[in-house]
Amino acid sequence: MSGGGLLVAGTTSDAGKSVVTAGICRWLVRRGVKVAPFKGQNMSLNSFVTREGAEIGRAQAMQAQAARVEPTALMNPVLLKPGGDRTSQVVLLGRPVGELSARGFFGGPEHPAGPEQDARPPGGMPDGAGDISAGVLRGGRREALLETVTACLEELRATHDVVICEGAGSPAEINLRRTDLVNMGIARAARLPVLVVGDIDRGGVFAQFFGTTALLAPEDQELVAGYLVNKFRGDVSLLEPGLEMLRGLTGRRTYGVLPYAHGLGIDEEDGLRISLRGAVREPAVAPPVGEEVLRVAVCAVPLMSNFTDVDALAAEPGVVVRFADRPEELADADLVIVPGTRGTVRALEWLRERGLAGALARRAAEGRPVLGICGGFQVLGEHIDDGVESRAGAVPGLGLLPVRVRFAAEKTLARPSGEALGQPVEGYEIHHGVAEVLGGEAFLDGCRVGQVWGTHWHGSLEGDGFRRAFLRAVAAAAGRRFVPAPGTSFAALREAQLDRLGDLVEEHADTDALLRLIEGGAPPGLPFVPPGAPGLPAATTAGTPGAAP
DSSP 80-116: EEESSSSEEEEEETTEEEEEEEHHHHTT-S---SS--
Is the Cβ–Cβ distance between 45 and 81 less than 8 Å?
Answer: yes
Q: Around Cβ 449, how many Cβ atoms within 10 Å?
A: 17
Of the candidates 464, 470, 425, the one whose C-alpha atom is nearest the C-alpha of residue 445 is 425
Radius of gyration for the chain, computed over Cα atoms and rounded to the nearest angstrom: 24
Domain boundaries, the chain: 4-264+496-522, 285-487
Residues 6+ apart with CB under 8 A from 166: 7, 8, 17, 18, 21, 37, 38, 39, 59, 60, 63
Residues 6+ apart with CB under 8 A from 365: none
Residues 6+ apart with CB under 8 A from 501: 19, 22, 23, 26, 66, 264, 266
Longest dimension (CA), the chain: 71
Q: Around Cβ 477, how many Cβ atoms within 10 Å?
A: 16
Of the candidates 461, 471, 470, the one whose C-alpha atom is nearest the C-alpha of residue 491 is 461
Q: What is the model's pLDDT at position 141? A: 65
Residue 23 per-residue DSSP state? H
Sheet holding 335-338, edge to edge: 319-324, 294-299, 335-338, 370-373, 452-455, 446-449, 441-443
Determine the Cα–Cα distance for residues 468 and 103; give it in Å rounded to an integer: 47
Provide the β-strand partners of residue 279: none
Q: What is the CATH number of domain 285-487?
A: 3.40.50.880
Residues 6+ apart with CB under 8 A from 168: 13, 17, 39, 41, 42, 43, 182, 183
- Spell out the CATH class of 4-264+496-522: alpha beta
SS3 75: helix
Q: What is the model's pLDDT at position 268? A: 56
Task: Going from the first residue of the chain to its last (549 residues), give the mean pLDDT of each consecutive group of 10, the final group possibly shorter.
Answer: 88 93 98 97 91 94 97 95 79 87 54 38 38 45 83 96 96 90 94 97 95 96 97 94 97 96 64 43 69 94 90 92 94 96 94 96 96 97 92 94 95 95 96 95 96 97 96 96 92 94 97 97 96 62 34
Q: Which residues are the active-site residues? A: 374, 458
Of the candidates 463, 423, 129, 478, the one whose C-alpha atom is nearest the C-alpha of residue 295 is 478
Is the Cβ–Cβ distance between 125 and 155 less than 8 Å?
Answer: no
Determine the Cα–Cα distance for residues 528 and 250; give it in Å rounded to an integer: 8
Residue 272 backbone zone (phi > 0: left; psi -120 to 50: alpha; other: beta): alpha
Is the Cβ–Cβ distance between 154 and 106 less than 8 Å?
Answer: no
CA atoms within 13 A on the CB side of 190: 34
Of the candidates 86, 88, 107, 89, the one whose C-alpha atom is nearest the C-alpha of residue 178 is 107
SS3 182: coil
Determine the Cα–Cα distance for residues 40 and 418; give it in Å rounded to an integer: 34
Strand bridging mode 319-324 / 294-299: parallel
Of the candidates 316, 329, 319, 331, the one whose C-alpha atom is nearest the C-alpha of residue 293 is 319
Q: CA dist 354 to 304, 329, 349, Å? A: 16, 12, 9
For residue 48, which amino acid is it? F
Determine the Cα–Cα distance for residues 239 and 300; give it in Å rounded to an integer: 39
CB pairs under 8 A, 24+ apart, for 534-540?
Answer: 534/217, 535/217, 535/218, 535/219, 536/177, 536/178, 536/217, 536/219, 540/142, 540/178
Is the Cβ–Cβ distance between 450 and 364 less than 8 Å?
Answer: yes
Is the Cβ–Cβ distance between 286 and 263 less than 8 Å?
Answer: no
Determine the Cα–Cα distance for residues 184 and 194; give it in Å rounded to an integer: 8
Is the Cβ–Cβ distance between 399 and 355 less than 8 Å?
Answer: no
